[in-house]
């Protein structure tokens, strides 16, 4: 493809092509070992064009983090928002999460495996994306808890527990490639939803010592 044809592409299209190439290289080689020349070759452009669009290798890495973080949050919110009740919303949201991890493994590696090891602006962007995911899950849980008698901070606690469990299971999925995203979601729902449903209905567990003290 000639430079003349390449220049006709809209900027936003070219940016996405470069980010796609960056994610492939970063996920395979890691940030420090990745070289811009390889990213440029994969994107079908010159090395200076990468710097023209993103300023630096770090700038491109941050753009990769931002796009993948926004994608997973959008997928989760869209799936959960289309469901009619708390149970269906949790199922749809978790399904979208695991489907994203299974279908965009390179992006997940960059976002949640490599980026947290870095500091500075990269760490700041990772924190923003993680906070966005957490806010989306907490909003879902809070909506499901609407009308329950739980303390105000309980939705945030449950959101952290869910995100932590889901994050941990992504490593498990990598070690068990035969497990589909749907099957993983079903198993997690069986672990968490029965308890959540009981809590939403007003049932709460207490340690045996607390139960004896109440008698």
Number of Cα atoms under 13 Å in the Cβ half of residue 124: 4
Residue 65 lies in a domain: yes
Structural domain span for residue 193: 3-202
Residue 107 lies in a domain: yes
Instruction: Quote the pLDDT of residue 1.
Output: 44
Instruction: Quote the pLDDT of residue 148.
Output: 65
Assign residue 203 a region (left: φ > 0; alpha: ψ between -120 and 50; beta: otherwise): beta
Residue 153 lies in a domain: yes
Residue 112 lies in a domain: yes
pLDDT of 45 over the 90 cut: yes
Residue 126 lies in a domain: yes
pLDDT digits (tens, 9 = 90+) for 144-162: 767 665 666 777 888 888 8
**pTM score over 0.85:** no
pLDDT digits (tens, 9 = 90+) for 82-141: 888 888 988 999 999 899 888 888 888 887 777 767 778 888 888 888 888 888 888 887
Residue 212 lies in a domain: no
Helices (H), 11-150: 11-29, 36-43, 47-54, 57-81, 86-103, 105-108, 120-144
| Helix and strand element counts for the chain (H, E) | 11, 0
Q: What is the mean pLDDT of the chain?
A: 84
pLDDT of 185 over the 70 cut: yes
Tokens for 177, please give them.
């490639």
In the chain, % of residues over pLDDT 90: 32
CATH number at residue 107: 1.10.357.10
Residue 207 lies in a domain: no
Residue 209 lies in a domain: no
How many domains would you assign to the chain? Answer: 1
């Amino acid at each position: 493809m000639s430079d003349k044809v390449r220049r006709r592409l809209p900027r936003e299209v070219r940016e996405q092509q470069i980010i796609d190439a960056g994610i492939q290289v970063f996920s395979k080689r890691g940030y420090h070992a990745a070289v811009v020349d390889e990213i440029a070759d994969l994107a079908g452009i010159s090395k200076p064009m990468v710097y023209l669009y993103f300023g630096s290798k770090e700038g491109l890495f941050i753009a990769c983090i931002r796009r993948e973080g926004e994608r997973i949050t959008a997928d989760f919110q869209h799936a959960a928002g289309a469901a009619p009740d708390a149970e269906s919303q949790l199922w749809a949201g978790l399904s979208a999460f695991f489907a994203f991890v299974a279908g965009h493994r390179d992006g997940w590696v960059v976002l949640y495996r490599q980026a947290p090891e870095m500091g500075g602006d990269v760490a700041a962007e990772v924190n923003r994306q993680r906070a966005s995911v957490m806010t989306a899950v907490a909003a879902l849980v809070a909506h499901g808890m609407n009308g329950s008698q739980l303390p105000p901070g309980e939705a945030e606690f449950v959101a952290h527990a869910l995100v932590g469990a889901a994050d941990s299971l992504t490593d498990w999925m990598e070690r068990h490639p035969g497990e589909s995203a749907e099957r993983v979601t079903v198993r997690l729902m069986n672990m968490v939803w029965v308890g959540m449903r009981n809590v939403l209905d007003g049932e709460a567990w207490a340690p045996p010592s607390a139960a004896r003290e109440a008698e």
